[in-house]
Amino acid sequence: MKRHIPGARGSGPKRAIGIAAIAAILMSGCANSPSIGVLGAYFPDWLFCIVAGVVLTVVIYLMLKRLQADHLMRPSAVTYPTLVALLSLAVWLTLFQQ
């Protein structure tokens, strides 16, 4: 005879297996922490990629400004953050993929 536990939902073992499978999938990304040692301290790769993306965006901005073509990059509030994201991901794909 099965006991009914108030508040319990689903079929016990199937639900437990499903929760364990979801937890295993979510935790698999935490297995390897990519980091770079700088003067004894470890920093994550993405931090360097964001800095590189910002620097490259500033270089592109200065080049466009010098060529007087910065009016082509409108609206600036959307274009430059998007360019930072694009260049950061490009640096990450270029340098840190194994």
CA–CA gap between residue 67 and residue 73 (Å, rounded)? 13
Residue 44 lies in a domain: yes
pLDDT grade for 10, boundaries at 50, 70 and 90 = low
Residue 75 lies in a domain: yes
Q: Which domain holds residue 80?
A: 34-95
Residue 3 lies in a domain: no
Condensed to tens digits (0 to 9), the pLDDT of residues 11-68 reads 667 788 888 888 777 776 655 666 666 776 677 778 888 999 999 999 999 999 999 9
Residue 5 lies in a domain: no
Residue 27 lies in a domain: no
Look up the pTM and report it. 0.61
Residue 85 lies in a domain: yes
